[in-house]
Amino acid sequence: MGESPIRVVWRRLLKNRPFRLGLALLIMLVLAALLADVLAPYSYKHQSLSQRFLPPFTGNHYLGTDNLGRDLFSRLLYGARISLAVGLLSVSISLFVGGLLGALAGYAGGWTDSVISRLFDLMLAFPSILLAIAIVSVLGEGLGNVMLAVGVVGVPIFGRQARASVLTTRELDYVAAARSLGAGPVRILFVHVLPNCLNPLLVLAALGVGTAVLDTAGLSFLGLGAKAPFPEWGTILADTYQYYKRAPWMVAFPGLSIMAMVLGCNLLGDGLRDVLDPRLAERG
């Protein structure tokens, strides 16, 4: 009996070095986030003013303490939870809304396609971070709104990809066969077309989580996202960067954490692209 297609893909993925590296990095970060309650020596809110600015590896403080005597290691562990959740939720918004709109545009064609495609073009005319800031200015500051803004900014990117994939898939013979058997447009789109357009969207999603983590941290760093004492990585950097001369570790470690997560997502995305979508890989 032949191997199942999922197994074949998984085996190919495991042979891909960027994918393995990215997966290992992300597994570490996910475990750190999930086990924060067990691994963190302190609560992310715990302050001890007598223990301010302690350098790394002082007692229980593996990464030192900040200006309020809070344990940086514990705060970064809890921060991993927030960054992962925010990255995944933002990309879910982009994937769901962009995927649906793009699929609709590609499948329906005509004026529906024109209207949706022009909307995507328009959104892409704005630099992404600027559009996210403009959306936050409307919705108000806060982590939830930043997450929503980052998700909305990703909509045209996923939408264009979904549209392009649907345009090619809908012309394939098995779709014509389904149509001739009497399947309705909704069934054809959701059962026959969309599942076969998932590969490039999956690649984009992996890369998108990294971008979302980066953008959310950036907006929080600018003071538009999460507020202290919430241990979002960008917020930790914003709170501590004025002390960079006195305690450089306070600035170094949150940045390295963000980089590790984004790098993990990019490596994973690159690996997925090499295996699932070789045409894209050639262009990259």
Partner 1 sequence: MKRFLARRLLELIPVVVGITLLTFMLIHLIPGDPVKVMLGERASPDQVDALRKQLGLDRSLPEQYVQYCVHAAQGDLGQSILRHTPVTEELARAFPATIELTLGALLIATVFGIPLGMAAAVKRGSWWDALCTTISLGGISMPVFWLGLMLVLLFPYYLGMFYFSGRTSLEFPHPTGFYTIDALLSGNPANLIDVLGHLVLPCATLSTIPLAMIARMTRSSMLEVLSQDYIRTARAKGLTESQVLWGHALPNALIPIVTAIGLQFGYLLGGAVMTETVFAFDGVGRLVVESVKLRDYPLVQGSVLAVALAVSLVNVLVDLLYGWLDPRVRYG
Binding footprint of partner 1 on the chain (CB under 8 A): 118, 121-122, 125-130, 133-134, 136-141, 210, 214, 217-218, 221-224, 234, 237, 241, 244-245, 248, 251-252, 254-255, 258-259, 262-263, 266-267, 270, 283-284
DSSP H helical ranges for 171-248: 173-180, 185-187, 198-221, 233-240
Shortest separation between residue 190's beta carbon and partner 1, angstroms: 30
- Nearest distance from residue 186's CB to partner 1, in Å? 30
Q: 127 CB contacts (<8 Å, ≥6 apart)?
A: none
The helix (run of H) or strand (run of E) holding residue 165 is helix 143-169
Residue placing its CB nearer to partner 1 in the complex, 21 or 178: 21
By beta-carbon proximity to partner 1, the closer residue of 113 and 178 is 113
CB nearer to partner 1: pick between 141 and 196 = 141
* Torsion angles phi and psi, residue 161, rounded to 5: -65, -45
Residues in the chain: 284
27-54 burial code (b ≥16 CB/10 A, e <16):
eebeebbeebeeebebebebbeeebbbb
* CB-CB contact of 269 with 203 (8 Å): yes
Instruction: Return the number of the residue (96 or 244) whose C-beta is nearest partner 1.
Output: 244
What residue has token string 């997560």? 261
Establish whether the linkage from the previous residue to 229 is cis, with ω within 30° of 0.
Answer: yes
Tell the smallest beta-carbon distance from residue 284 to partner 1 (Å): 7
Chain-centroid distance, C-alpha 89: 8
Contact 249, 55 (CB under 8 A): yes
C-beta closer to partner 1: residue 161 or 240: 240
Q: Which is nearer to partner 1, 74 or 83 (CB)?
A: 83
- Cα 42 to the chain's mean position, in Å? 28
